[in-house]
Chains A and B, each alone.
Chain A
Amino acid sequence: MASYDSEEEELDYSTDPRWADVTPLPQDDGENPLAQIAYAPEYTLAMSYLRAIMAANEHSSRVIHLTSDIIRMNAAHYTVWGYRFKTLMFLDRSNSFEDKSTGWSWSWREELEWVGSIAKRYEKNYQIWHHRQLIIDHLDDATGERAVTEGMFELDSKNYHVWTYRQWLVQRFNLFDEEELATTARLLEEDVRNNSAWNHRYFIVFGKPGTDSATEVLEREIEFAKEAILKAPQNPSPWSYLKAVLRKGKIELTTLKPFCEGFSPVLSPDEIKSSHALDILSEIYDQTGDAAKAEKALELLASKFDPVRKNYWRYRRRLLGSQALPTTSGTPIVQAAA
C-alpha cells in the first residue's frame, strides 16, 4: 500500500487498491423516506466505506484519511468526528502514528493543524472545537492554544464555540492570569461593544473557584467599566458589567448615582446620553425613596429613549416601591469610587 499524498487527495474508494478489502455498507433510509438528501456520489461512497469500517471496528491509519474526506463534505458529522478521535487515540496508544509499511505518518500536531484549517472554513460548528478540546485534554499541553483562538477572533470576535473552548482552556490549565486579562482588555480596546469579551473578563476576574474578590479588584473593575462607558455611554455591556461587579462586591447601587446623573439628568431630558443610566437611576431613586424621579426615568425610557420596551418599563413602574429589584444584599464592604 502506498501512502496518501495529502489529506486533500481525491480518492475513489471503489477502485483504490488500498480499500479493496472493504465491502461498502449502504445506508438504509427506510421505505419512502421524507426529506431524503440527494448526496454527491463521493459522499455516498465515502460514508458506505466508513459504515463498513465502523462495523468492523477498525482503527487504522486509513480511517484518518477517510474521516477527513467526509468531514470536508460535512463538518457537522458528529459520529465521524467521534470515530476519528477514537482512532487517533488507538493509533497513539499502539504507537502507530508511523506506518513503516506504507510510509504514512501522522501526529497530534498535524491533527491540530488540520482541525484549525477546518475551523476557519466552518465557523459555526460544535464538533470542531469539542474535538480540539478532547485532543488538548489528552495531550495535557495548551501551548499555543490561546493564539489559535485569537486567530479565530480575528474572523469573528464573538464566536460562541471558540469562546466556550477558550473558557475550557482557562479552567483546565488554570489560566486565570494577567495574559488572559490583557487579552480581554485588548479585545475591548478594539471593540468596546464586544459582549463576549466582557463575559470572558467577568469569568477571568470572578470565575476562579474559591477566590474572594479583593477590594482592589472590585475597584479596578469598576474603573474599567466606567472608562468604557465614557467612550460610548449607550453601550449596554459595560453598564451590565458595572452592576454585576457591584452585586458581586455587595456594593450599594446608590453609589453610582452621581456617575449616572452625569449621563442622564432626569430633569433635563434634552441632555440625556444613555438609556442605561436612566434605567439604573430609576432603581436608585426607588431605593432612595425619590418616587417621582424614579417614575420620570421610566417614563422617559418608555416614551423616548427605549420605546420598544415600553411594556417592560411599565412593568417596572408597577414594581416601584416594592423593593422587588434589590441589587444588593447585606452591608457594603467598599464604596464604589464615585
Chain B
Amino acid sequence: MSSNRRFANSKTKRKVIFPKSPTKMAQSESFGEPLEHGDPASAYNMPSIEQVPAMHRGLPFIVDELETETSRKQLSTARNILKFVNDSPLPLLDKATHIEFLLEPLEEGLSSGYTGLDASRPWLLYWCINALALLGEDVGDYNDRVISSLKPLQHKEGGFGGGNGQSPHIASAYAAVLTLVITSYYASKNLSRDEQLNVYARSFSWIDRKKLLEWIRKIKLPNGGFKVNEEGEEDVRAGYCALVVLALLGYDEEELKGDSSVGQLPILDGVLEYFKTCQTWEGGIGAKQNSEAHGGYAFCVLSALCLLGEPGELLSRYLDLDQFIMWLSARQYAPEGGFSGRTNKLVDGCYSTWVGGCWSLVEAAANGIQSKKASLKLNVGSIWNRRALIRYVLTCCQGHNGGLRDKPGLRPDYYHSNYVLIGLSAAQHYYYYDSIIGLPSSTARSPFKHSFRWKVSRNVPKPSSIEGIGGGWEEGLVSNEDSRVGPQHPLFNIPLGAETDIQDWWEAARDIIEVS
C-alpha cells in the first residue's frame, strides 16, 4: 500500500465515520445538570447517554484554604479541566485523525524541531507504531523500513544507540526490540509457516545477541540494579528495559546464567532484591532507593517483578502490596478522572499507562492472593475507576488535529499518543494472569515464562462475593466499539499475541542452528 493511499484513506474515513461535532468548550463551569445538546455525533453514533457523575462537575468536596504554589497549580488545572471533562455525551475516540497524526512522522519525517529527540530515534518509531497498532492499523507494511532504520543503530560492541554511531543505551535497545516485535508480528499475519519464519529471520537474525548480552552484563551493577549505559545513571527504568530485552530476544537459562569460568555472574542475581529497595515510605516506588515515589518507575518495577514470576507471589513477596495499592489508588483525581504521577502533582495523560497499567498487575496479584486464601476462584473486581480514566482520555487528551496529549492546553505528541492509548486499553479491557493454562514449549522454556500467561477479555468482571459467586460485568466502558483500542500485553506494552510469536521464532531459530 502506498503512503499516499494511506493518507487518503484516513482522511476519507474521518469524514464519513466521525463527523466533527460542534465544540463544547464554552459550556464550561456550569456545575449544574449534565449538558445535553443536539450534537449530531450523538444521534449518528448513538452512544449510551450517561449522566456525568457529580465528581466531574465541580471541585472536590474539601479544598483547604491555605494557598501554596501546589494548590494554585492544582486548582487552576482542575478548573481548566472542568471545561472539558463533563462533556456529554462522551466524545468518541477520533481514530482517523489520530492515525493521520501518527502516520505523518513515519511517512513525511520530522522537522528540525525534533533534534532534541535525535538520541531517541527508536522511541519515535515505537511510540508511533505501537499507537497505530492500538488504533487498529496494520503496521506490518513498515517492517522492512523498521529493519533498515534500526540496523544502523546497532553498535559494533553490542547493543543499540539512540541513533547511528551513538553509544549503546538500554532504552534504545528496549524501544528497538519492541518495534521489531510489533511490525514482524503484523507482517507475518496470515502467512504460511515458512513465510512467517522468513519475516522473523529478516527482522531478527542481524541482531548480535551475544554481544548484546555481553553489553548488558556491563551495565549490570553489583547491587542488582542496572545503569542505562556504561557511563550513565542507575535507575529501575534500566532494569525493566534490560529484562524486557532479555525476555523478547529469547535468551535461555544458560545464557542468562553466564560463564562462571570467565567470571560471569548470573545476570538475574540480586535483581528482585534491588527492586524491593525502591519502595518508599509512601508505599509507591521511586527511580532507585530513597527516590520519591513516581508512577513511571512504579510501572517499571511492577512489570519487572511480573516478568519474573506469578503476580500474587512476587508482588506480595517483594512489596508491601497494601501500601502500594493505597499509594497507587491516590493517583486518581476528581474532577479530572486521570492520574498524577506523584503525590501533589498534576494529572497527565501518560500516567494512564504508568499508573493505569499497574492496576492490571495489582488486580491479578490481589485476585491470586484472595483466591489462595479462600481456596476459591475469587475476583476483587476493579480497584480503580476505569470509567473516570476513560472520561479523562476522551474529553481531555484528544487534540483537535489528531494525537493525544498530557492535558488540555498542551500540544499532542507521539509519546503521549502511545501512552494515553495504552492506558485507555487498560481501562477498556480486563487483563488477567492465567496460572493454569499449559504453555507451548517455546514459552515454557523461557526464564520469563510467567510473562506469557497474560490474557485479555472484553468483559470486565465486577467483584465476586466472598463465597466466590460472580458479580457480573462492568457495563458501558466502551459506548461504541469504534472507540475501543486494541489489546496490549500488560508488561511489554506491545499488541497482545506478539510476545508469543517472537518466542516461536527463537525456538525455530534454535532448531535451525542446531540442525545446520
Whether A38 contacts B232 by the Cβ 8 Å rule is no
Docked CA distance A198–B282 (Å)? 10
A193-B68 contact given A37-B117, A39-B115, A308-B333, CB 8 Å threshold: yes
Docked CA distance A39–B476 (Å)? 47
Docked CA distance A144–B296 (Å)? 31
Asked if B105 is at the interface of the complex by the 8 Å CB criterion, the answer is: yes
CB closest residue in chain A, given B334: A308
Docked CA distance A198–B345 (Å)? 13
List, in ascending order, chain B residues with CB within 8 A of A234's CB: 62-64
CB closest residue in chain A, given B68: A191
Q: Which of B36-44, B185-193, B324-332 contacts A (4 or more CB under 8 A)?
A: B324-332
Asked if B263 is at the interface of the complex by the 8 Å CB criterion, the answer is: no
List, in ascending order, chain A residues with CB within 8 A of B330's CB: 236, 309
Asked if B480 is at the interface of the complex by the 8 Å CB criterion, the answer is: no
Measured as residues with beta carbon below 8 angstroms from the partner, the interface class of chain A is 35 or more
Asked if B164 is at the interface of the complex by the 8 Å CB criterion, the answer is: yes
A308's partner among B114, B120, B332 (CB-CB below 8 A) is B332
CB closest residue in chain A, given B56: A308
Asked if A160 is at the interface of the complex by the 8 Å CB criterion, the answer is: yes
Q: Which of B9-17, B24-32, B147-155, B213-221 contacts A (4 or more CB under 8 A)?
A: B147-155
Docked CA distance A195–B327 (Å)? 13
List, in ascending order, chain B residues with CB within 8 A of A191's CB: 68-70
A79-B119 contact given A35-B128, A40-B112, A164-B287, CB 8 Å threshold: yes
List, in ascending order, chain A residues with CB within 8 A of B128's CB: 35
CB of A222, distance to nearest CB on chain B (Å): 14
**Binary contact readout A237-274 vs B (1 if CB under 8 angstroms, 0 otherwise):** 10011001001100000000000000000000000111
A309-B120 contact given A82-B232, A160-B292, CB 8 Å threshold: no
**Binary contact readout B117-152 vs A (1 if CB under 8 angstroms, 0 otherwise):** 111110011001000000000000010011011111
Asked if A106 is at the interface of the complex by the 8 Å CB criterion, the answer is: no
Asked if A90 is at the interface of the complex by the 8 Å CB criterion, the answer is: no
CB closest residue in chain A, given B286: A199
Asked if B270 is at the interface of the complex by the 8 Å CB criterion, the answer is: no
A76-B120 contact given A29-B149, A35-B149, A160-B287, CB 8 Å threshold: yes
A312's partner among B111, B125, B383 (CB-CB below 8 A) is B383
Asked if B166 is at the interface of the complex by the 8 Å CB criterion, the answer is: yes
List, in ascending order, chain A residues with CB within 8 A of B114's CB: 37
Docked CA distance A315–B332 (Å)? 15
Asked if B276 is at the interface of the complex by the 8 Å CB criterion, the answer is: no
Asked if B447 is at the interface of the complex by the 8 Å CB criterion, the answer is: no
Whether B292 contacts A196 by the Cβ 8 Å rule is yes
Q: In A188-211, which residues have CB < 8 Å from any B CB? A: 190-196, 198-199, 202-203, 206-207
Docked CA distance A228–B50 (Å)? 40
Docked CA distance A308–B151 (Å)? 47
- Identify whether the interface residues of A are mostly helix, strand, loop, or mixed: helix
Q: In A11-42, which residues have CB < 8 Å from any B CB? A: 25, 27-40
List, in ascending order, chain A residues with CB within 8 A of B63's CB: 234
CB of A118, distance to nearest CB on chain B (Å): 13
The residue in B62, B65, B329 that gathers the most chain A C-beta atoms within 10 A of its C-beta is B62
B62's partner among A231, A272, A307, A309 (CB-CB below 8 A) is A272
B110's partner among A30, A37, A306 (CB-CB below 8 A) is A37
Q: Which of B305-313, B336-344, B501-509 contacts A (4 or more CB under 8 A)?
A: B336-344
Asked if A4 is at the interface of the complex by the 8 Å CB criterion, the answer is: no
Asked if A59 is at the interface of the complex by the 8 Å CB criterion, the answer is: no
List, in ascending order, chain B residues with CB within 8 A of A120's CB: none
The residue in A43, A234, A308 that gathers the most chain B C-beta atoms within 10 A of its C-beta is A308
Whether B149 contacts A30 by the Cβ 8 Å rule is yes
Whether B325 contacts A312 by the Cβ 8 Å rule is yes
Whether A31 contacts B148 by the Cβ 8 Å rule is yes
Docked CA distance A284–B167 (Å)? 54
List, in ascending order, chain A residues with CB within 8 A of B152's CB: 28-30
Asked if B381 is at the interface of the complex by the 8 Å CB criterion, the answer is: yes
List, in ascending order, chain A residues with CB within 8 A of B333's CB: 308
Nearest first, the 9 A-B pairs at minimum CB distance are A193-B70, A244-B281, A308-B334, A232-B64, A199-B292, A191-B68, A312-B329, A195-B343, A33-B149
Which positions in B face A, CB cutoff 8 Å? 53-55, 60-66, 68-71, 105-106, 109-112, 114-121, 124-125, 128, 142, 145-146, 148-152, 161-167, 169, 228-233, 280-283, 286-288, 290-294, 322, 325, 327, 329-330, 332-334, 337, 342-345, 366, 380-385, 388, 463, 466
Which positions in A face B, CB cutoff 8 Å? 25, 27-40, 43, 51, 54, 73-79, 82, 85-86, 126, 130, 134, 157-158, 160, 163-164, 167, 190-196, 198-199, 202-203, 206-207, 231-237, 240-241, 244, 247-248, 272-275, 304-312, 314-315, 318, 324-325
Q: Can you list 6 residue pairs at the A/B interface with Cβ under 8 Å?
A: A30-B148, A34-B145, A40-B112, A76-B117, A237-B344, A315-B463
Q: With contacts A231-B66, A274-B62 known, what are 11 further pairs, Cβ within 8 A?
A: A30-B148, A30-B164, A37-B117, A163-B291, A191-B69, A199-B280, A240-B343, A306-B334, A308-B332, A311-B382, A311-B383
